[in-house]
Amino acid sequence: MKRAIRVILVALVLVVPASVFAQHDFAVWSKVDQSDVTVIPWYVYNGSSLLVDARYNFDQQKTAGAFVGRAFEVRGVSVMPYAGALVGDYDGISTQINAFAGFDVYTVFVMNQYSRGIGEGHADFIYHWVDALWHPNPRLALGIDGQVYKESGIPLLVDVGPVVKILPASYFYVKAWGTVDPKNSWDKKFFVGIGFLPDEWCLSF
């Protein structure tokens, strides 16, 4: 736990010399899986020349992740490659490539991650997440999200379902996502996130 906290603190220190034009996204997510509830704090910094992604309990239980990257524009699509580390109950190194694109009233965000475990019992894994939203007005977004997780030695895990994002006030959003595993209709999860970020970015994530 102490090592995981140190990883998060190092990631935050990286943003101290931030430009006034930087974007900050602070969010806290809760995942309800059967009777288990997992709290996932998440921070994303988007500077003019630096990206930082720091989170806890997202990649693995009781594990902190810290990533550093840059953003590039490729034919209207923002591409964000990262490199980072995972520390806690799971130790490993990780690479991540995110992409974001907007088309009229539609946005698509994609996250692709590969992590290589370090030490006994820490298996390699691949993770993909897609967030596709329709924005009928500036304070509401509707869509569908999906995630895929594959770890060495276990079956493919898939979650997909509808998502709703509401902006009750500037700089503040609430996002809810209900999922089901297409291979197992009994495997249902529910995610809810509350976050803060600059208003002009609120409907982008």
Q: Give residue-wise pLDDT tens across range 122-180.
A: 899 999 999 999 999 988 999 999 999 999 888 899 999 999 999 887 778 899 999 98
Q: What is the pTM of this model?
A: 0.83
Average pLDDT over residues 54-77: 93
Tens of pLDDT, residue by residue over 83-125, are: 999 999 999 999 999 999 998 999 999 999 999 999 888 899 9
| CB atoms inside a 10 Å sphere around CB 203 | 19
Instruction: Give 21's Cβ-side CA count (13 Å radius).
Output: 4
Domains and CATH numbers, the chain: 2-204 (2.40.160.40)
In this predicted structure, the answer to whether residue 8 has a pLDDT above a threshold of 60 is no
Instruction: Give 182's Cβ-side CA count (13 Å radius).
Output: 7
| φ and ψ of 135, to 5 deg | -110, 90
Q: How far is CA 100 from CA 34, 78, 85, 150, 171, in A?
A: 31, 5, 23, 23, 20
pLDDT at 186: 65
